[in-house]
Protein backbone atom coordinates (compact mmCIF):
# COMPACT_ATOMS: atom_id res chain seq x y z
CA UNK A 1 0.00 0.00 0.00
CA UNK A 2 1.15 3.57 -0.57
CA UNK A 3 1.65 5.16 2.83
CA UNK A 4 2.84 8.51 4.10
CA UNK A 5 4.31 9.16 7.54
CA UNK A 6 4.18 12.77 8.72
CA UNK A 7 6.77 13.52 11.41
CA UNK A 8 10.02 11.52 11.39
CA UNK A 9 11.17 11.65 15.00
CA UNK A 10 11.63 8.62 17.28
CA UNK A 11 8.15 7.40 16.44
CA UNK A 12 7.74 8.36 12.77
CA UNK A 13 11.17 7.34 11.48
CA UNK A 14 10.80 3.89 13.00
CA UNK A 15 7.22 3.57 11.80
CA UNK A 16 8.16 4.58 8.25
CA UNK A 17 11.07 2.12 8.09
CA UNK A 18 9.03 -0.72 9.60
CA UNK A 19 6.08 -0.16 7.24
CA UNK A 20 8.47 -0.24 4.26
CA UNK A 21 10.02 -3.44 5.58
CA UNK A 22 6.52 -4.94 5.66
CA UNK A 23 6.29 -4.34 1.90
CA UNK A 24 4.56 -0.96 1.72
CA UNK A 25 5.67 2.02 -0.37
CA UNK A 26 6.37 4.70 2.17
CA UNK A 27 7.16 8.39 2.03
CA UNK A 28 8.33 9.96 5.29
CA UNK A 29 7.97 13.73 5.67
CA UNK A 30 9.46 16.10 8.20
CA UNK A 31 10.09 19.84 8.29
CA UNK A 32 13.61 19.29 9.69
CA UNK A 33 16.02 19.20 6.73
CA UNK A 34 18.88 17.75 8.77
CA UNK A 35 16.74 14.87 9.95
CA UNK A 36 15.53 14.12 6.44
CA UNK A 37 19.06 14.27 4.98
CA UNK A 38 20.26 11.80 7.62
CA UNK A 39 17.39 9.41 7.02
CA UNK A 40 17.94 9.62 3.25
CA UNK A 41 21.47 8.37 3.79
CA UNK A 42 20.23 5.52 6.04
CA UNK A 43 21.67 7.13 9.18
CA UNK A 44 18.95 7.86 11.70
CA UNK A 45 19.43 11.20 13.47
CA UNK A 46 19.09 9.40 16.81
CA UNK A 47 20.25 6.10 18.24
CA UNK A 48 17.75 3.27 18.04
CA UNK A 49 19.07 -0.30 17.90
CA UNK A 50 18.40 -1.97 14.54
CA UNK A 51 17.06 1.14 12.81
CA UNK A 52 20.08 1.99 10.66
CA UNK A 53 20.35 -1.66 9.63
CA UNK A 54 16.68 -1.64 8.65
CA UNK A 55 17.08 1.60 6.66
CA UNK A 56 20.14 0.24 4.85
CA UNK A 57 18.37 -3.04 4.14
CA UNK A 58 15.39 -1.27 2.57
CA UNK A 59 17.73 0.91 0.49
CA UNK A 60 19.64 -2.15 -0.69
CA UNK A 61 16.42 -3.91 -1.64
CA UNK A 62 15.40 -0.84 -3.60
CA UNK A 63 18.62 -0.94 -5.57
CA UNK A 64 18.29 -4.69 -6.11
CA UNK A 65 21.35 -5.61 -4.05
CA UNK A 66 19.63 -8.10 -1.82
CA UNK A 67 17.40 -11.02 -2.56
CA UNK A 68 13.71 -10.65 -1.88
CA UNK A 69 11.18 -13.21 -0.80
CA UNK A 70 9.38 -12.91 -4.13
CA UNK A 71 6.64 -10.59 -2.84
CA UNK A 72 6.55 -6.81 -3.19
CA UNK A 73 9.65 -5.51 -1.43
CA UNK A 74 8.39 -2.13 -0.32
CA UNK A 75 10.14 1.18 -0.73
CA UNK A 76 11.06 4.11 1.45
CA UNK A 77 11.91 7.70 0.72
CA UNK A 78 12.14 10.79 2.88
CA UNK A 79 11.34 14.37 1.95
CA UNK A 80 10.64 17.78 3.44
CA UNK A 81 7.98 18.41 0.77
CA UNK A 82 4.61 17.64 2.31
CA UNK A 83 2.94 17.74 -1.12
CA UNK A 84 4.55 14.35 -1.76
CA UNK A 85 2.07 12.65 0.54
CA UNK A 86 -0.45 13.03 -2.30
CA UNK A 87 -1.24 9.68 -3.85
CA UNK A 88 -0.75 7.72 -0.63
CA UNK A 89 -3.86 5.94 0.60
CA UNK A 90 -3.01 6.01 4.29
CA UNK A 91 -1.31 8.90 6.11
CA UNK A 92 0.17 8.36 9.58
CA UNK A 93 0.58 11.43 11.78
CA UNK A 94 3.55 10.82 14.10
CA UNK A 95 4.48 14.30 15.34
CA UNK A 96 5.39 15.08 18.94
CA UNK A 97 3.06 16.35 21.68
CA UNK A 98 5.51 17.84 24.21
CA UNK A 99 4.54 19.35 27.54
CA UNK A 100 3.57 23.02 27.24
CA UNK A 101 6.16 25.32 28.76
CA UNK A 102 5.25 26.14 32.36
CA UNK A 103 2.10 24.02 32.25
CA UNK A 104 1.11 20.37 32.57
CA UNK A 105 -1.01 20.25 29.44
CA UNK A 106 0.18 18.81 26.13
CA UNK A 107 1.19 21.19 23.36
CA UNK A 108 -0.91 20.20 20.35
CA UNK A 109 0.47 22.74 17.92
CA UNK A 110 2.41 20.14 15.88
CA UNK A 111 -0.56 17.79 15.65
CA UNK A 112 -2.88 20.60 14.61
CA UNK A 113 -0.37 21.87 12.03
CA UNK A 114 0.21 18.37 10.64
CA UNK A 115 -3.52 17.77 10.18
CA UNK A 116 -4.26 21.14 8.63
CA UNK A 117 -1.32 21.07 6.23
CA UNK A 118 -1.87 17.41 5.30
CA UNK A 119 -5.52 18.22 4.54
CA UNK A 120 -4.43 20.21 1.48
CA UNK A 121 -3.03 17.06 -0.13
CA UNK A 122 -5.68 14.46 0.73
CA UNK A 123 -7.94 12.80 -1.78
CA UNK A 124 -11.40 11.23 -1.31
CA UNK A 125 -11.06 7.73 0.15
CA UNK A 126 -7.78 8.46 1.95
CA UNK A 127 -7.33 7.39 5.55
CA UNK A 128 -5.53 9.65 8.01
CA UNK A 129 -4.22 7.81 11.05
CA UNK A 130 -3.23 9.56 14.27
CA UNK A 131 -0.41 7.89 16.21
CA UNK A 132 0.74 10.78 18.41
CA UNK A 133 -0.18 10.66 22.11
CA UNK A 134 -3.00 13.18 22.53
CA UNK A 135 -5.43 14.28 25.23
CA UNK A 136 -8.71 12.41 25.08
CA UNK A 137 -11.15 14.28 22.83
CA UNK A 138 -8.54 15.40 20.29
CA UNK A 139 -9.45 12.83 17.62
CA UNK A 140 -13.11 13.81 17.65
CA UNK A 141 -12.20 17.49 17.27
CA UNK A 142 -9.74 16.77 14.45
CA UNK A 143 -12.28 14.58 12.66
CA UNK A 144 -14.88 17.36 12.79
CA UNK A 145 -12.40 19.86 11.33
CA UNK A 146 -11.28 17.40 8.68
CA UNK A 147 -14.78 16.50 7.55
CA UNK A 148 -15.70 20.10 6.87
CA UNK A 149 -13.20 20.16 3.99
CA UNK A 150 -12.98 16.42 3.28
CA UNK A 151 -16.18 14.52 4.01
CA UNK A 152 -14.69 11.50 2.18
CA UNK A 153 -11.50 11.21 4.23
CA UNK A 154 -11.69 9.00 7.32
CA UNK A 155 -9.72 9.41 10.53
CA UNK A 156 -8.52 6.57 12.75
CA UNK A 157 -6.75 6.91 16.11
CA UNK A 158 -4.15 4.17 16.32
CA UNK A 159 -1.93 4.77 19.37
CA UNK A 160 1.63 3.53 19.46
CA UNK A 161 3.06 1.56 22.36
CA UNK A 162 6.70 1.18 21.30
CA UNK A 163 9.52 1.57 23.80
CA UNK A 164 12.64 3.48 22.83
CA UNK A 165 15.53 1.06 22.59
CA UNK A 166 13.13 -1.66 21.36
CA UNK A 167 11.24 0.46 18.85
CA UNK A 168 11.84 -1.69 15.75
CA UNK A 169 10.81 -4.95 17.42
CA UNK A 170 7.84 -3.32 19.15
CA UNK A 171 6.61 -1.86 15.84
CA UNK A 172 7.01 -5.08 13.89
CA UNK A 173 5.61 -7.27 16.69
CA UNK A 174 3.20 -5.14 18.71
CA UNK A 175 1.32 -6.94 21.49
CA UNK A 176 -1.83 -5.10 20.47
CA UNK A 177 -3.12 -2.86 17.71
CA UNK A 178 -5.86 -0.47 18.74
CA UNK A 179 -8.01 1.12 16.05
CA UNK A 180 -10.06 4.04 17.34
CA UNK A 181 -12.74 4.49 14.67
CA UNK A 182 -15.72 6.84 14.49
CA UNK A 183 -18.98 5.12 15.12
CA UNK A 184 -20.22 5.25 11.55
CA UNK A 185 -21.16 3.01 8.68
CA UNK A 186 -17.61 2.83 7.34
CA UNK A 187 -16.22 1.11 10.45
CA UNK A 188 -15.51 -2.25 8.78
CA UNK A 189 -14.06 -0.70 5.61
CA UNK A 190 -11.80 1.52 7.72
CA UNK A 191 -10.60 -1.38 9.83
CA UNK A 192 -9.96 -3.39 6.66
CA UNK A 193 -7.45 -0.78 5.41
CA UNK A 194 -5.53 -0.96 8.70
CA UNK A 195 -5.70 -4.75 8.64
CA UNK A 196 -4.06 -4.64 5.21
CA UNK A 197 -1.30 -2.35 6.49
CA UNK A 198 -0.68 -4.50 9.56
CA UNK A 199 -1.27 -7.86 7.85
CA UNK A 200 2.10 -9.27 8.94
CA UNK A 201 1.91 -8.44 12.67
CA UNK A 202 -1.72 -9.60 12.74
CA UNK A 203 -0.72 -12.89 11.12
CA UNK A 204 2.00 -13.21 13.77
CA UNK A 205 -0.52 -12.95 16.57
CA UNK A 206 -0.76 -9.27 17.53
CA UNK A 207 -4.15 -8.67 19.16
CA UNK A 208 -6.48 -6.22 17.41
CA UNK A 209 -9.07 -4.12 19.20
CA UNK A 210 -11.56 -1.78 17.58
CA UNK A 211 -12.78 1.02 19.82
CA UNK A 212 -14.24 4.49 19.56
CA UNK A 213 -11.96 7.55 19.48
CA UNK A 214 -11.89 8.44 23.18
CA UNK A 215 -11.24 4.86 24.24
CA UNK A 216 -8.32 4.54 21.83
CA UNK A 217 -6.82 7.79 23.10
CA UNK A 218 -7.31 6.67 26.70
CA UNK A 219 -5.75 3.24 26.10
CA UNK A 220 -2.48 5.02 25.46
CA UNK A 221 -2.53 7.44 28.39
CA UNK A 222 -3.96 4.83 30.75
CA UNK A 223 -1.20 2.36 29.83
CA UNK A 224 1.57 4.92 30.39
CA UNK A 225 -0.05 6.05 33.64
CA UNK A 226 -0.22 2.47 34.86
CA UNK A 227 3.46 1.91 34.03
CA UNK A 228 4.45 5.14 35.79
CA UNK A 229 2.32 4.15 38.79
CA UNK A 230 3.97 0.73 38.95
CA UNK A 231 7.42 2.33 39.00
CA UNK A 232 6.43 4.89 41.62
CA UNK A 233 4.76 2.20 43.70
CA UNK A 234 7.99 0.24 43.96
CA UNK A 235 9.93 3.45 44.57
CA UNK A 236 7.55 4.29 47.43
CA UNK A 237 8.31 0.81 48.78
CA UNK A 238 12.00 1.67 48.38
CA UNK A 239 11.45 4.67 50.67
CA UNK A 240 9.94 2.30 53.24
CA UNK A 241 12.79 -0.15 52.76
CA UNK A 242 15.25 2.68 53.44
CA UNK A 243 13.33 3.58 56.62
CA UNK A 244 13.15 -0.01 57.86
CA UNK A 245 16.33 -1.64 56.61
CA UNK A 246 14.60 -3.91 54.08
CA UNK A 247 15.78 -4.64 50.52
CA UNK A 248 13.48 -3.42 47.73
CA UNK A 249 14.97 -5.71 45.08
CA UNK A 250 14.09 -8.79 47.13
CA UNK A 251 10.70 -7.31 47.87
CA UNK A 252 10.08 -6.74 44.14
CA UNK A 253 11.17 -10.30 43.32
CA UNK A 254 8.84 -11.70 45.94
CA UNK A 255 5.72 -9.67 45.09
CA UNK A 256 6.47 -9.99 41.37
CA UNK A 257 6.07 -13.77 41.60
CA UNK A 258 2.36 -13.20 42.09
CA UNK A 259 1.33 -13.20 38.46
CA UNK A 260 -1.47 -10.73 39.19
CA UNK A 261 1.33 -8.28 40.03
CA UNK A 262 4.20 -9.41 37.76
CA UNK A 263 7.89 -8.52 38.09
CA UNK A 264 8.14 -6.21 35.06
CA UNK A 265 8.38 -2.45 35.75
CA UNK A 266 9.12 -3.09 39.41
CA UNK A 267 12.76 -2.03 39.18
CA UNK A 268 13.23 0.49 41.95
CA UNK A 269 15.85 3.21 41.65
CA UNK A 270 16.09 6.65 40.19
CA UNK A 271 12.63 6.42 38.62
CA UNK A 272 11.21 7.24 35.23
CA UNK A 273 12.19 9.92 32.76
CA UNK A 274 12.12 10.31 28.99
CA UNK A 275 9.87 12.03 26.52
CA UNK A 276 6.76 10.00 27.39
CA UNK A 277 5.84 8.87 30.92
CA UNK A 278 6.52 12.17 32.77
CA UNK A 279 4.75 14.45 30.29
CA UNK A 280 1.97 11.96 29.59
CA UNK A 281 0.87 11.67 33.23
CA UNK A 282 0.96 15.46 33.58
CA UNK A 283 -1.02 16.02 30.38
CA UNK A 284 -3.50 13.37 31.54
CA UNK A 285 -4.05 15.22 34.83
CA UNK A 286 -4.50 18.51 32.96
CA UNK A 287 -7.03 16.95 30.61
CA UNK A 288 -8.93 15.32 33.48
CA UNK A 289 -9.20 18.78 35.03
CA UNK A 290 -10.67 20.20 31.82
CA UNK A 291 -13.20 17.38 31.80
CA UNK A 292 -14.18 18.01 35.41
CA UNK A 293 -12.71 14.66 36.45
CA UNK A 294 -9.53 15.85 38.14
CA UNK A 295 -10.26 13.87 41.33
CA UNK A 296 -9.91 10.64 39.37
CA UNK A 297 -6.25 11.36 38.74
CA UNK A 298 -5.02 13.10 41.88
CA UNK A 299 -3.03 9.93 42.60
CA UNK A 300 -0.90 10.70 39.54
CA UNK A 301 0.32 13.85 41.28
CA UNK A 302 1.69 11.54 43.97
CA UNK A 303 3.17 9.24 41.31
CA UNK A 304 5.00 12.26 39.90
CA UNK A 305 6.17 13.44 43.36
CA UNK A 306 7.47 10.03 44.40
CA UNK A 307 9.38 9.93 41.12
CA UNK A 308 10.94 13.37 41.60
CA UNK A 309 11.80 12.60 45.25
CA UNK A 310 14.07 9.75 44.12
CA UNK A 311 16.31 12.22 42.32
CA UNK A 312 16.59 14.39 45.41
CA UNK A 313 17.29 11.33 47.57
CA UNK A 314 20.06 10.28 45.20
CA UNK A 315 21.77 13.64 45.59
CA UNK A 316 21.42 13.43 49.41
CA UNK A 317 22.88 9.94 49.43
CA UNK A 318 25.80 11.07 47.28
CA UNK A 319 26.48 14.02 49.58
CA UNK A 320 26.33 11.72 52.61
CA UNK A 321 28.84 9.35 51.01
CA UNK A 322 31.07 12.34 50.21
CA UNK A 323 31.26 13.19 53.94
CA UNK A 324 28.64 15.92 53.73
CA UNK A 325 30.05 18.12 50.96
CA UNK A 326 30.72 17.98 47.22
CA UNK A 327 33.30 20.77 47.36
CA UNK A 328 36.61 19.76 45.76
CA UNK A 329 35.19 16.30 44.99
CA UNK A 330 35.13 14.66 41.60
CA UNK A 331 31.86 12.85 40.98
CA UNK A 332 31.83 10.39 38.07
CA UNK A 333 28.30 10.05 36.68
CA UNK A 334 27.76 6.92 34.61
CA UNK A 335 24.84 7.56 32.29
CA UNK A 336 23.17 10.55 30.64
CA UNK A 337 20.37 8.91 28.65
CA UNK A 338 17.00 8.46 30.39
CA UNK A 339 17.44 4.73 29.92
CA UNK A 340 19.96 2.37 28.31
CA UNK A 341 19.96 1.66 24.55
CA UNK A 342 18.80 5.18 23.84
CA UNK A 343 20.48 8.54 23.24
CA UNK A 344 17.37 10.37 24.45
CA UNK A 345 18.05 12.76 27.34
CA UNK A 346 14.59 14.29 27.63
CA UNK A 347 13.75 14.53 31.34
CA UNK A 348 16.72 12.29 32.10
CA UNK A 349 16.92 11.45 35.82
CA UNK A 350 20.70 10.97 35.45
CA UNK A 351 21.30 14.46 34.06
CA UNK A 352 18.97 15.99 36.62
CA UNK A 353 21.04 14.43 39.43
CA UNK A 354 24.32 15.43 37.75
CA UNK A 355 23.15 19.05 37.41
CA UNK A 356 21.99 19.21 41.05
CA UNK A 357 25.36 17.94 42.29
CA UNK A 358 27.20 20.42 40.13
CA UNK A 359 25.04 23.23 41.51
CA UNK A 360 26.05 22.11 44.99
CA UNK A 361 29.72 22.54 44.12
CA UNK A 362 30.69 19.06 42.88
CA UNK A 363 33.14 18.59 40.05
CA UNK A 364 30.86 16.37 37.97
CA UNK A 365 32.03 14.38 34.94
CA UNK A 366 29.35 12.58 32.93
CA UNK A 367 29.96 9.66 30.60
CA UNK A 368 27.52 7.76 28.36
CA UNK A 369 28.04 5.52 25.32
CA UNK A 370 25.49 7.28 23.08
CA UNK A 371 23.86 10.31 24.67
CA UNK A 372 26.70 12.79 25.23
CA UNK A 373 25.97 14.99 22.21
CA UNK A 374 22.31 15.35 23.21
CA UNK A 375 23.28 15.88 26.85
CA UNK A 376 25.74 18.62 25.95
CA UNK A 377 23.06 20.35 23.93
CA UNK A 378 20.62 20.32 26.86
CA UNK A 379 23.05 20.84 29.77
CA UNK A 380 26.00 22.75 28.24
CA UNK A 381 27.50 23.55 31.64
CA UNK A 382 28.20 19.97 32.66
CA UNK A 383 31.53 18.29 31.85
CA UNK A 384 31.38 15.29 29.52
CA UNK A 385 33.91 12.54 28.92
CA UNK A 386 33.33 9.81 26.33
CA UNK A 387 36.01 7.56 27.78
CA UNK A 388 34.69 5.68 30.84
CA UNK A 389 38.14 5.17 32.38
CA UNK A 390 38.93 8.87 32.05
CA UNK A 391 35.59 9.75 33.63
CA UNK A 392 36.36 7.42 36.55
CA UNK A 393 39.97 8.53 37.01
CA UNK A 394 40.48 10.16 40.40
CA UNK A 395 36.76 10.09 41.28
CA UNK A 396 35.72 10.60 44.90
CA UNK A 397 32.42 8.87 44.20
CA UNK A 398 30.92 6.94 41.27
CA UNK A 399 27.19 7.26 40.52
CA UNK A 400 25.68 4.61 38.24
CA UNK A 401 22.54 6.34 37.00
CA UNK A 402 21.69 4.69 33.66
CA UNK A 403 22.12 0.94 33.49
CA UNK A 404 24.07 0.55 30.22
CA UNK A 405 25.79 -2.86 29.96
CA UNK A 406 29.14 -1.05 29.83
CA UNK A 407 28.48 0.15 33.38
CA UNK A 408 26.70 -2.82 34.93
CA UNK A 409 29.62 -5.01 33.79
CA UNK A 410 32.31 -2.88 35.45
CA UNK A 411 34.85 -4.83 37.47
CA UNK A 412 35.15 -3.58 41.07
CA UNK A 413 38.92 -4.18 41.21
CA UNK A 414 39.78 -2.57 37.86
CA UNK A 415 37.44 0.34 38.61
CA UNK A 416 38.92 0.64 42.10
CA UNK A 417 42.36 1.10 40.61
CA UNK A 418 41.13 4.21 38.74
CA UNK A 419 39.22 6.09 41.41
CA UNK A 420 40.52 8.12 44.34
CA UNK A 421 37.97 6.70 46.81
CA UNK A 422 36.04 3.44 46.46
CA UNK A 423 32.49 4.74 46.84
CA UNK A 424 29.73 3.67 44.49
CA UNK A 425 26.06 4.63 44.36
CA UNK A 426 23.90 2.25 42.39
CA UNK A 427 20.99 4.38 41.19
CA UNK A 428 19.37 1.48 39.30
CA UNK A 429 19.92 -1.44 41.69
CA UNK A 430 21.82 -3.39 39.09
CA UNK A 431 25.10 -4.24 40.84
CA UNK A 432 25.71 -7.08 43.29
CA UNK A 433 26.42 -5.24 46.56
CA UNK A 434 28.44 -8.10 48.10
CA UNK A 435 30.89 -8.17 45.17
CA UNK A 436 31.60 -4.45 45.42
CA UNK A 437 31.81 -4.47 49.20
CA UNK A 438 34.20 -7.43 49.09
CA UNK A 439 36.49 -5.30 46.89
CA UNK A 440 36.56 -2.61 49.57
CA UNK A 441 33.90 -0.32 48.11
CA UNK A 442 31.32 1.64 50.06
CA UNK A 443 28.21 0.52 48.18
CA UNK A 444 24.96 2.50 48.56
CA UNK A 445 21.69 2.18 46.64
CA UNK A 446 18.12 3.43 46.73
CA UNK A 447 15.96 1.09 48.79
CA UNK A 448 18.68 -1.37 49.75
CA UNK A 449 20.60 -1.62 52.99
C1 LIG B 1 7.15 4.29 27.41
C2 LIG B 1 6.23 3.07 27.41
O3 LIG B 1 6.88 1.97 28.06
C4 LIG B 1 5.85 2.67 25.99
O5 LIG B 1 4.93 1.58 26.01
C6 LIG B 1 5.21 3.88 25.29
O7 LIG B 1 4.88 3.59 23.96
C8 LIG B 1 6.21 5.04 25.32
O9 LIG B 1 6.53 5.35 26.69
C10 LIG B 1 5.55 6.20 24.65
O11 LIG B 1 4.59 6.75 25.20
O12 LIG B 1 5.93 6.54 23.53
P13 LIG B 1 9.78 4.63 26.97
O14 LIG B 1 9.55 6.03 27.45
O15 LIG B 1 10.54 4.38 25.73
O16 LIG B 1 8.36 3.89 26.77
O17 LIG B 1 10.56 3.87 28.12
P18 LIG B 1 10.23 2.81 29.27
O19 LIG B 1 10.90 1.55 28.95
O20 LIG B 1 8.78 2.78 29.58
O21 LIG B 1 11.00 3.49 30.49
C22 LIG B 1 10.58 4.75 31.01
C23 LIG B 1 11.39 5.12 32.22
O24 LIG B 1 11.05 4.31 33.32
C25 LIG B 1 12.90 4.99 32.06
O26 LIG B 1 13.51 6.15 32.61
C27 LIG B 1 13.25 3.77 32.87
O28 LIG B 1 14.54 3.82 33.41
C29 LIG B 1 12.21 3.82 33.96
N30 LIG B 1 11.89 2.51 34.57
C31 LIG B 1 11.34 1.52 33.82
C32 LIG B 1 12.11 2.31 35.92
O33 LIG B 1 12.60 3.22 36.64
N34 LIG B 1 11.81 1.10 36.48
C35 LIG B 1 11.26 0.09 35.76
O36 LIG B 1 10.99 -0.98 36.34
C37 LIG B 1 11.04 0.31 34.39
Domains of the chain: 2-211 (3.40.50.720), 213-449 (3.40.50.720)
Which residue intervals of 187-212 are DSSP H helices?
187-197, 199-203
User: Among 130, 231, 348, 351, which residue has the most ligand 1 atoms within 8 Å of its CB, making it the best to mutate?
Assistant: 231
Ligand 1 atom index nearest CA of 270: 33
Burial class (CB in 10 A: 0-12, 13-18, 19+), 80: middle
Catalytic residue numbers? 276
C-alpha span between 11 and 163 (Å, rounded) = 9
CA of 343 to the centre of ligand 1 (A): 14
The answer to whether the CB of 46 is under 6 A from ligand 1 is: no
Handedness of CA 206, 207, 208, 214 (dihedral sign): negative
- The closest residue, in CA terms, to atom 22 on ligand 1 is 272
ipTM at complex level: 0.98
The answer to whether the CB of 256 is under 6 A from ligand 1 is: no
User: Among 9, 161, 339, 426, which residue has the most ligand 1 atoms within 8 Å of its CB, making it the best to mutate?
Assistant: 339
The answer to whether the CB of 224 is under 6 A from ligand 1 is: yes
C-alpha span between 283 and 381 (Å, rounded) = 30
- pLDDT score of 67: 44
Ligand 1 atom index nearest CA of 266: 36
C-alpha span between 136 and 407 (Å, rounded) = 40
C-alpha dihedral (442, 445, 447, 449), degrees to nearest 10: -10
> Residue 312 has what DSSP assignment?
H
- The closest residue, in CA terms, to atom 2 on ligand 1 is 163
CA of 272 to the centre of ligand 1 (A): 7
Ligand 1 atom index nearest CA of 10: 12
pLDDT in tens, the chain (449 residues): 999 999 999 999 999 999 999 999 999 999 999 999 999 999 999 999 999 999 999 988 876 554 445 567 899 999 999 999 999 999 999 999 999 999 999 999 999 999 999 999 999 999 999 999 999 999 999 999 999 999 999 999 999 999 999 999 999 999 999 999 997 768 999 999 999 999 999 999 999 999 999 999 999 999 999 999 999 999 999 999 999 999 999 999 999 999 999 999 999 999 999 999 999 999 999 999 999 999 999 999 999 999 999 999 999 999 999 999 999 999 999 999 999 999 999 999 999 999 999 999 999 999 999 999 999 999 999 999 999 999 999 999 999 999 999 999 999 999 999 999 999 999 999 999 999 999 999 999 999 99
The answer to whether the CB of 277 is under 6 A from ligand 1 is: yes
The answer to whether the CB of 338 is under 6 A from ligand 1 is: yes
C-alpha span between 231 and 237 (Å, rounded) = 10
User: Among 7, 9, 158, 163, which residue has the most ligand 1 atoms within 8 Å of its CB, making it the best to mutate?
Assistant: 163
The answer to whether the CB of 267 is under 6 A from ligand 1 is: yes
Report yes or no: 394 and 330 within 8 Å, Cβ to Cβ: yes
> Residue 85 has what DSSP assignment?
G
Report yes or no: 122 and 43 within 8 Å, Cβ to Cβ: no
Residues with Cβ within 8 Å of 164's Cβ and at least 6 positions away in sequence, in order, are 10, 48, 274, 339, 341, 342, 344
- pLDDT score of 186: 85
Ligand 1 atom index nearest CA of 223: 5
The answer to whether the CB of 299 is under 6 A from ligand 1 is: no
Amino acid sequence: MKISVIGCGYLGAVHAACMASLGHDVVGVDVDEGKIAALQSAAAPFYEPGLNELLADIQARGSGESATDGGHTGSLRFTTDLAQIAGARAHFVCVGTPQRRGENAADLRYVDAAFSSAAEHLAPGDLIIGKSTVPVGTARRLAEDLHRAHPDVRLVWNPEFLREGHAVTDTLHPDRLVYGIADDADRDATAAVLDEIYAAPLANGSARLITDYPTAELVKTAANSFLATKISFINAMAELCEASGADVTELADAIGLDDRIGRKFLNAGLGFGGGCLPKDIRAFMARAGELGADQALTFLREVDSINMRRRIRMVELAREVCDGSFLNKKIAVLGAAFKPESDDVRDSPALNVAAQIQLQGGNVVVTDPKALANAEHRFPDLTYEPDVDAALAGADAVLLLTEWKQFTGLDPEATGALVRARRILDGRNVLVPATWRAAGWTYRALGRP
